[in-house]
Amino acid sequence: MKKANSYFLAGAILAAMVIAAADGNLIKSVFASNSFGRLPRELRLGSELGIIMPEQLKTKTLNGRISSAAFSEKLALVMMLLGATEAADSKELLQNGIIKGSSRSGSISRANALETLARASMFLATKGLISHENAKASNYRDYRIADKYAGAFAWLQTKYVVRGYPDGSLGKNKNLTLREAVFFLHRFYEAASAEMMGRRPAEKLSFIDLPLNHPIMQAIENLTQAGAFDKIILRPSFDGDSFVSAADLTEMLNGIFARAGKDIDEIRIKSIFSEPADSFGRRQHLALALEYILDIFAKDRLAAEKIRYQDVSIEQPEYESLVKLAGCGLKLGYGDGRFAGSESVTWYETVRLFDEVLKYATVPAPSSDTKDRLAVKSDLEALKALLRAKKDKIHQILTQNKK
């Protein structure tokens, strides 16, 4: 896979801005989030990859047809990003039999698009980048999968790249829309990238959209050690610009408290998320959650500091939280003095602030001499990494013996 793709820049820039605002080890300012985080993840991450341009993220444009030529060009970009081809040129796809036919100016049907993705996955498999296991493909009400595509379609289905309609049909003759094309292509890219990443030894948590030297990775590792992700199912992409759900904020607290051997106060959890909200966590929720960590793990060292947010009064529930966070050197919100408590928070903001609070609170790591306990997610990840490492070592030995 290419290691220096431009799509890393968006996350790197945001994280760099956050770090640049730091004084010593503590952040002084965190920017409020925008509506970009509300887009479906395929569109948001597809935009970062270059599969779709920002100006195309409009309902009318997304619902319009995509031509066969445009779909081929976008697939060519994906194949290059995966390292399967040398350039983002659809001519290379034609030469390798991924694209069929010479006339590609008209629209493309859903069935033809998925057959093209099937051929692309077969090409990746022949290069040893992914593998088609003996999974069985499922036919659709209106589309029977050809035998030559059975293994490829099974891979597309098990990786959730292909999703039919609720009635079991594929809509094979329907023209593919730009929205559907981006969804299919990003899922294809993410599935292949995740499998490729899983083939190499990984001692630490990693994501396909973040290089290992990304500024946010150390904070992610610290939260992993603290148990913040023990009760969360993380996707192959970190997707730092997306908004954190209130449910994930809750589970981050649960994981941290459980790893430290502390009981969670369910009543307080309910009070933190009592304000009316959609499925996303708000900056208000984040402040209250961080205060809870400070109250439990750093109560004896807390110091209050005056706050001057334009939109926060002493009557608001987050007021005391912000006073305590300011005492730790943490100030949330916009540079113009607004807290913007109703704004949704991104994963970048959440991880960085959780990390700073955990470091300030010196949340203890599990003791090395603890007695037997139930396995948690980090244990399973470590086991999988060990098995992957052994598998790669055996493959390397066998390959050397053939030479």
Q: How far is CA 359 from the centre of its chain?
A: 24
In angstroms, rounded to a whole number, what is the distance separating the alpha carbons of residues 19 and 256?
Answer: 23
Please check the confidence at residue 226 and state whether its pLDDT lies above 90: yes
Please check the confidence at residue 367 and state whether its pLDDT lies above 50: no
Q: Which of 19-33, 115-129, 258-272 has the lowest mean pLDDT?
A: 19-33
**Encoded tokens for 42:** 């395929």
pLDDT of residue 362: 85
Beta bridge partners of 282: 344
Predicted confidence band of residue 6 (pLDDT cuts 50, 70, 90): very low
pLDDT of residue 379: 54
From residue 43, how far is each of 13, 50, 62, 88, 376 by CA, in Å?
A: 20, 10, 10, 20, 32
pLDDT of residue 14: 36
Residue pLDDT, tens place only, 52-76: 998 999 999 999 999 999 999 999 9
pLDDT of residue 117: 96
Q: Are 55 and 82 in contact (CB under 8 A)?
A: no
**E strand or H helix that includes residue 325:** helix 319-327
Residue pLDDT, tens place only, 371-396: 444 555 555 555 555 555 555 555 55
pLDDT of residue 9: 35
pLDDT of residue 36: 65
As a whole number, mean pLDDT of residues 301-315 equals 88
Please check the confidence at residue 28 and state whether its pLDDT lies above 50: no
**Encoded tokens for 67:** 């031509």
**Encoded tokens for 256:** 């941290």
The pTM score is 0.63
Residue with tokens 């908004």: 243
In angstroms, rounded to a whole number, what is the distance separating the alpha carbons of residues 88 and 382?
Answer: 36
pLDDT of residue 13: 35
As a whole number, mean pLDDT of residues 145-157 equals 94
Q: Are 190 and 83 in contact (CB under 8 A)?
A: no
As a whole number, mean pLDDT of residues 365-370 equals 47
pLDDT of residue 395: 52
Please check the confidence at residue 201 and state whether its pLDDT lies above 70: no
As a whole number, mean pLDDT of residues 284-295 equals 95
pLDDT of residue 251: 95
Q: How far is CA 33 from the centre of its chain?
A: 17
Predicted confidence band of residue 18 (pLDDT cuts 50, 70, 90): very low
As a whole number, mean pLDDT of residues 357-381 equals 62
Nearest to 342 by CA among 298, 287, 401, 305: 287
Predicted confidence band of residue 5 (pLDDT cuts 50, 70, 90): very low
In angstroms, rounded to a whole number, what is the distance separating the alpha carbons of residues 75 and 69?
Answer: 10
Q: Are 289 and 253 in contact (CB under 8 A)?
A: yes
Q: How many CB atoms lie within 10 A of CB 50?
A: 15
Residue with tokens 């003759």: 173
As a whole number, mean pLDDT of residues 177-193 equals 94
Spell out the residues 6+ positions from residue 373 whose beta carbon is closer than 8 angstroms to its own. none
